[in-house]
């Protein structure tokens, strides 16, 4: 049986024949870093995002890799992320609250 290794948001199978899989939260972060509103195709995008464990290593890496021009292109999505973090803090669901607190670290 192949062992799973978690590193940088990838779930890798030790078998060479398998393609590396990304965590769902990483795939969702990638959607935030596009110019499209991630909730357009999935109206529950933000609710689902805050139910998943934060991958700070991946998120910080993505943010640090952006230059000023790239950041301006996705400014609306980044603002939306922080707006939804603030909204999640007021929810009764403890997992959403904890995950929302970890994002802006």
Check if the beta carbon of residue 89 is closer than 8 Å to that of residue 100. Answer: yes
The reported pLDDT for the residue numbered 2 is 45
The reported pLDDT for the residue numbered 3 is 46
Domain that holds residue 60: 24-103
Q: What does DSSP assign to residue 24?
A: H
Rounded Cα distance, 67 and 90, in Å: 32
* Within-domain flag for 74: yes
The reported pLDDT for the residue numbered 14 is 52
Number of folded domains in the chain? Answer: 1
* Average per-residue pLDDT for the chain: 86
* Within-domain flag for 81: yes
* C-alpha of 41 from chain center: 16
pLDDT digits (tens, 9 = 90+) for 73-91: 999 999 999 999 999 999 9
At 21 the three-state DSSP class reads strand
* Within-domain flag for 36: yes
* Within-domain flag for 9: no
pLDDT at residue 48 greater than cutoff 90: yes
* Within-domain flag for 97: yes
Strand partners for 29: none
pLDDT digits (tens, 9 = 90+) for 13-27: 555 667 778 899 999
């Amino acid at each position: 049986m192949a062992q799973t290794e978690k590193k940088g948001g990838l779930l890798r199978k030790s078998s060479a024949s398998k393609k590396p899989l990304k965590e769902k939260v990483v795939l969702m972060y990638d959607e935030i870093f596009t110019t499209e509103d991630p909730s357009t195709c999935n109206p529950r995008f933000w609710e689902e995002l805050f139910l998943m464990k934060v991958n700070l290593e991946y998120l910080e890496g993505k943010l640090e890799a952006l230059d000023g021009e790239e950041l301006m292109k996705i400014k609306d999505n980044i603002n939306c992320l922080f707006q939804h973090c603030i909204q999640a803090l007021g929810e009764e669901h403890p997992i959403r609250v904890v995950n929302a607190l970890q994002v802006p670290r």
